[in-house]
Structure 1
Amino acid sequence: MGFFDRFLNRAPQGPLPTLADLLEARGLPADLPGLEALVPAFEAHRDAPGRESWAEAVAVTHRAGLPLPPPWEEVQDRLFPELVPAWRAEREGRWHRLFVEGLFQRVRLDDMAVPAAWMRLWDQSETEVHDLALENLRHRTEGAFERLPSGIYRGPWHDGHDAARLLLPEVWDGLFRDQHPFLAIPTPGLLLAAPQVLLPKLMEAVGKALSEGAPLLQAAVLERIGEHLVPARIQEPHPMSGPQREFKQLDQLEAIRTQERDLDPALGRPAPVGLLKTQQGKSLTVATWVAGAPALLPEADLVAFTTAEGEPLGIYWRQSLPRLSEIRGELVEIWGPRRVRHEGFPDAEQLARLECFATGEQMKAMQAQGGRPQPKAPAAPAGGFATQPVPSLPRHLQGAGLGMQDGD
């Protein structure tokens, strides 16, 4: 009886905090656009912690500069999943969940990615919202894959959600019985699939899609290993290892180029990054470090050094930079790819300590070629290196050759 005595004699709960009081405590006006329609969801909370949490979700949404969502009853059939690169999920800060390496899944309401605070305002768990979005997509996924003349398969829906259907394995899992499947989602509106024997055709289709200028989702091709999807691990000497490497580099370039827009100009000058190809056909990323201002250096295979006037000083392997202990870098706090801020600039003696890829004269010859298509294969400068056009480069990344600045 002791338990029931404590229950029956419990002191009555005090008055619940009002929404006006909770908003005032957070410095928020009581007439926020869209708030009135959400008040019933607030009043459904019959405990103080629940109301505090709900009001905090309003504050988080407002501080982020986002609108309040429509009521849950109005949005349930308008929620759909989407896939985005990891860097974009981190940059935009909306609710996201890991799907595969380099890709995150989110939920969209019409044209906007749903933030976690909205789910709290709807009193729905992340899993419930995500599962409903998947079910909505499943209901509008009818029809079979189209077989293209090349032999690969393309999703037939063309509604902007094709890539998101990678989240529905029942849609694509049975395409190739007893064959190793590869899949690609170069743009949000495109889902491509091919068996291993047609991997070259799949790579060709990805390159074509990227060259048409649609927004890049992920260039790198995926493969299914057991029950899991992973970025395709195509190793040399497989003939498709080169294209897959280039596609991964294009994904890296997309992140780096976008990141440049969010860097504080007061920190220094972002080092532009481009691609070059060796005479042996291997593509490498190269960041250009220009003297005269602090450099914000992203991770790349190579670093090209120039004077403030643009005079080439040589190209060196980035992994040898730690040899310059007197020019230490400071990690920049920024989303996405790692960047290091360097205030100094190496002199000739210090450059000589680095592992050389190309001398200043060889670098100048590469710049003269500019990575542009030539009427015939360009002659390699002494040392055997020549820039080559990378055919899979999307339009908005074209001009990213060695020593060329971003035109944005």
Structure 2
Amino acid sequence: MISTQNTDIIPENWYNVVPDLPEPMPPPRDNDMHKSSIELLNRILPKKVIEQEFTFKKYERIPDEVIELYEQIGRPTPLVRAKNLERYLNYKGKIYYKFEGATVTGSHKINTAIPQAYYAANEGIKEVTTETGAGQWGTATALASSMNGMKSKVFMVNVSYQQKPLRKTVMNLYGSEVVPSPSPLTPTGRKFLSDSPNHPGSLGIAISEAVEYALENNIRYLLGSVMNSVITHQSIIGLETQKQLEIAGEEAEVLIGCVGGGSNFGGFVFPIIRDGKERTIISSTAREVPKFSKGKYKYDYVDNAGILPSIKMYSLGSDFVPESIYAGGLRYHGASPSLSLLVKNGTVKSEEIGEKQVIEALRVFANTQGIVAAPESGHALASAINYVKSNQGERKTIVVNVSGHGLLDMSIFNRG
């Protein structure tokens, strides 16, 4: 295990993949509701986040204050060789996992919540809002806001609000007000409640509600995933991993992560693959949300109401409402434009994993490595196990991003 006490592992700069993409990333498009994307974004996002969203600079300096907060929440996170898992699978190569569950909020989401909240507070903002699915992003927003002296309101997808009461408790503890979405607080929420009072909600609906609430109350909205500025902040995962591998004298030959909107995956993979070396790269998604196999690569709305600009990505449609699956963080209808480009050109392979296989992978990982991983991370672990079983003769070094812990998601082991 590489020591988390070595804060020199934390990079001084984030990495922006846009200049290194194989082709230009299609720009966002204005929509009918708001004619100017930039005008809309200027009303809801911190100015520095907008700048980072559209920059072509390859590196972005991390403010000293943000690095200090990163240290306070547990960065750098550990990179661990999973020797027990190797023995269990009889794998002759090496398996490492980057454990983002070691942060105080238990997932990678805090990596972008901290800088976004920092930038908002520097502008004199007193309150922020956002959405959350499984609760990891809402938890990160709540803590980052509190650390920067701001209030927060989180619109939580209703089915997760009902299934994960402990997530709500943690967000409340961090000072956030948590609202089940759809809610009566916004036009979008009232529309869906009038059609279905017990609507399960979706991330697309919750995003619409948070954006509407930000616009109506002149506060700022924090981005949880998908957009390039978020993936830039999340690049701290891959940058740390790369440095930790160098210390261990290793080189990643297979990279595996789960994909909801694409932020943990992009943040983990993009800094490592910038050298152009040939690797196997696998994005693991939920079979119940088959965005890469059944979605279309097209311009589509980020949110259900079509308030935010449309972006070109793999999407099942902004009106897609997935079933109440066990991994709430993977319920999003689309994927980030940068990841979508790399899936389209074949750089990144995609694999869809179902609930039964995910739960078995979580059990194996818990019994071999002692880590109760998040349901979302269970997809990455299942794909890693699949890879090993299909390539028993190899001796490659596999690195898996375990994007969070699952200690507040234990109910999934009692399903059906």
TM-score (norm 2): 0.24
TM-score, structure 1 normalization: 0.25
Larger Rg over CA atoms: 1
Structure that is richer in helix per residue: 2
